[in-house]
Amino acid sequence: MRGLRLIPQSCNVNFIGLRAVAFIFSIALMVGSIGVTASKGLNLGIDFTGGTVIEIRTPVEPNLEALRGTLNGLGLGSISIQEFGQIDDLLIRLPEQKKPADWETGDEEPNKFAIALVRETLAEAFEGQGIDYRRVEFVGPQVGKELKMKGLYAIIFSLLGILTYVWFRFEWQFGIASIVALAHDAVATIGLFALTQMEFNLSTVAAILMIAGYSINDTVVVFDRIRENLRKYKKKPIGELLNMSVNQTLSRTIMTSVTTLLALVALYVFGGEVIRGFVYALIFGIGIGTYSSIFVASPVLMLMNVRRGKDNSGENKDFPEAEVVS
């Protein structure tokens, strides 16, 4: 019984022939991502900046403009308010509060005082009607700075670990090509968050690490077939060999991406606002990771002058040669 194939086994698309177009697109994507990140910056969440986040459900539909004006008039710094899912669900962010020299509330901690003041103001704004406080979280500035550095270290060390694994598993050319593809995916995802100004927090860092894992899984499958074909087809031009290898693994790549996206779309629709940013990053990352496995990793490998294997196991009967589509 034959399994399901979204891509015919005889598929022979000239992906390597499209490498110039793919490189131009990828370079433009990288430059654009770096540019928008440098100009707009990331909307760093409270995990990295420090401060207090309060999630509430209001008894009636709130007037956000009036509520922003009221809270920002308390002298607690720039307070942001945004809808969090439904119209009556609000997310309020307070900056880190510092104890002024003329502090007159005894030994009360400034952030606790700010939270109490906000709660009192909200009660007055909604005329004593019941407000559901769903969560109140506080992160100190030192903790936020530490989390920011640890998140950066996690991304850097994961890329270095992947480079080391692929280097020993294959050859150094494969390791360099895989890191180029992974850096491509990570930078593009960060650029997306800078462009949309969605909150960038620890969940987003976790999503980037998951994207790296997914992308390298796809890339290693393609590289394994390339190494196998390098040993079998010693006289075949390297461009044709790489193209054949990508086509042979294309069905597996597409099926894995589609099934993963089905689960992620369901999570995005029904998972709620708490995980929406995380799933949003993964959906984009799966798409860009699939693209890089096909159009970035193998063409970069072609530029690295990869060596052919020493053994010759003859022609591959399961995957016969075919002309490359021009």
Report the 3 state secondary structure along 36-82: HHHHHCCEECHHHHCEEEEEEECCCCCCHHHHHHHHHCCCCCCCEEE
71 and 211 assigned to the same domain: no
Is the dihedral angle over the CA atoms 65, 71, 75, 79 positive or is it negative? negative
**Mean per-residue pLDDT pooled into runs of 10, the chain (326 residues):** 58 80 92 92 78 82 81 78 78 74 56 81 79 79 72 82 79 84 89 87 84 85 85 81 85 86 88 78 90 87 70 42 37
169 and 133 assigned to the same domain: no
29 and 60 assigned to the same domain: no
* Last-in-domain residue among 92, 124, 139: 139
Query: Sheet containing 80-84: which strands, arranged edge to edge?
Result: 80-84, 86-94, 51-57, 132-139
Return the CATH number at 101.
3.30.70.3220
Rounded to whole angstroms, how far apart are CA atoms 23 and 296?
Answer: 7
The half-sphere exposure of 112 on its side-chain side, counting CA atoms within 13 A, is: 5
In a domain, 319, yes or no: no
In this prediction, residue 100 carries a pLDDT of 57
In this prediction, residue 10 carries a pLDDT of 65
In this prediction, residue 7 carries a pLDDT of 65
Return the CATH number at 267.
1.20.1640.10
181 and 274 assigned to the same domain: yes
One DSSP character per residue, 144-158 reads: HHHHHHHHHHHHHHH
In a domain, 321, yes or no: no
In this prediction, residue 135 carries a pLDDT of 83
List strand residue ranges (DSSP E) for the chain, in order: 43-44, 51-57, 80-84, 86-94, 132-139, 199-200
127 and 154 assigned to the same domain: no
Domain enclosing residue 285, as ranges: 16-45+143-303
Beta bridge partners of 83: 90
Q: How many domains would you assign to the chain?
A: 2
- 136 and 52 Cβ atoms separated by less than 8 Å: yes
* Last-in-domain residue among 85, 105, 139: 139
152 and 27 assigned to the same domain: yes
248 and 106 assigned to the same domain: no
62 and 30 assigned to the same domain: no
Instruction: Give, in order, the Cα–Cα distances in Å from 86 to each of 56, 82, 124.
Output: 11, 11, 22
96 and 129 assigned to the same domain: yes
235 and 256 assigned to the same domain: yes
In this prediction, residue 315 carries a pLDDT of 43
In this prediction, residue 19 carries a pLDDT of 84
In this prediction, residue 24 carries a pLDDT of 92
In a domain, 316, yes or no: no
67 and 37 assigned to the same domain: no
